[in-house]
Structure 1
Amino acid sequence: MNELLNDFPVVTEIPVAWGEMDALQHVNNVVYFRYFETARIDYFHHINLMDELARDNIGPVLSETHSRYKIPVTYPDTLLVGSRVCDIHSDRFSMEYQIVSKKLGKVTTTGTATVVMFDFNHGSKAQLPDSIVSAIRRLQGSDMAVPVQSLSENDNAER
């Protein structure tokens, strides 16, 4: 089962709760976004992003998220949620998630998210600190195939 998450530097274990199931007797679709959130915050702790927020009041805001459901999950089960950064820009980064069921031994769900850095003091987007980019590279390996993108026309258009 671990081989299904080899490419994910952070793996978060989450037990499925009885109350997360819906009338169709499987985990409700909205719950997966909570699983992704839990894994995302775990990843943030690994790169000290929450310390950055506490110190400078600049932190992550979720811009968009997506999920692909492959196999239904039911109670009881324990899920392993892998998370990693797959793309970095000057003011944002994208993440990928993969959920593996311990009971089924298979990938049940995949997902993505875009996280934008936000300056809560000024109410505007902020640059991704170099210290966070370095922490991501340390966590995911120096050979990580994720270059930091310079500001492109798309980045400027979204400001």
Structure 2
Amino acid sequence: MNAPIHPVPTFRLEDYPFRIDDNVRFADLDPQHHVNNAVYASYFETGRVTLIRNPAYGLMPEGFSWVLGHLAIDFRAEVRWPGTIEMGLGVSRIGKTSVSYRQVVFSEGKCAASAEAVTVLLDADTRKPAPLPAEIIEKFQPWMLRGA
């Protein structure tokens, strides 16, 4: 029996409300001269941290911190140097103590990698997960994933 065929997802950068650009660095490459798989975790981290830690967005409540609880990456195309990448992020779910994201890295107009990530809000004193304050939930609303 053959395994079921799953449709290849379509990724559109415009579905991700938070977007930033970055340069591919020579140091990002592996012996095959494309971006090493481990570097994508850093690209995705850059997207999340740039959103969460920007004081203008108000997503860092006093006395709390965010930690990564889950990261799954699918590699879809090579990225080479020199070049630039576009990163997109959309919130896919808001839980009691966590926020889930879908993220993409685009290069030359096509999706090179996609990821699902979950960050958990920690109380700085107890180091335990903390319920998301209502104002933080509200401040995440503009970053909800579109259309996908």
Measured against the shorter chain, the TM-score band is 0.7 to 0.9
Q: What do residues 110-130 of structure 1 show as CA deviations (whole Å, max 9, x unaligned)? A: 001011110121121101111
Other-structure match for 2:74: 68
Match of 2:98 among 92, 95, 106: 92
Instruction: Check whether the contact 1:99–1:109 (CA below 8 A) recurs between aligned residues.
Output: yes
- Tell me, what secondary structure is at the counterpart of 1:80? strand
- Given the two structures, how large is their TM-score scaled by the length of structure 2? 0.84
4+ residue runs of structure 1 moved beyond 6 angstroms? none
Q: How many residues align?
A: 135
Instruction: Check whether the contact 1:66–1:112 (CA below 8 A) recurs between aligned residues.
Output: yes
Q: What do residues 9-62 of structure 1 show as CA deviations (whole Å, max 9, x unaligned)? A: 110111000011011111011100000000001221263223x1xx2x212110
Q: What do residues 77-127 of structure 1 show as CA deviations (whole Å, max 9, x unaligned)? A: 1100000110111111110101111xx221111001011110121121101
Q: Note the aligned Cα RMSD (angstroms).
A: 1.9
Instruction: Check whether the contact 1:85–1:94 (CA below 8 A) recurs between aligned residues.
Output: yes
* Residue 38, structure 1, aligned to residue 50, structure 2: no
Other-structure match for 1:137: 141
- Given the two structures, how large is their TM-score scaled by the length of structure 1? 0.79
Instruction: Check whether the contact 1:47–1:132 (CA below 8 A) recurs between aligned residues.
Output: no
Instruction: Check whether the contact 2:122–2:128 (CA below 8 A) recurs between aligned residues.
Output: yes
- Greater per-residue helix proportion: 1
Instruction: Check whether the contact 1:27–1:72 (CA below 8 A) recurs between aligned residues.
Output: yes
Q: Which runs of 5+ in 1 are unaligned?
A: 146-159
Other-structure match for 2:3: none
* Greater RCO (Cα-Cα under 8 Å, separation 6 or more): 2
Other-structure match for 1:155: none
1:119 partner amino acid: D
1:67 partner amino acid: I
Rounded Cα–Cα distance in structure 1 between residues aligned with 2:125 and 2:115 = 31
Rounded Cα–Cα distance in structure 1 between residues aligned with 2:113 and 2:57 = 24
Rounded Cα–Cα distance in structure 2 between residues aligned with 1:63 and 1:140 = 19
Q: Which runs of 5+ in 2 are unaligned?
A: 1-10
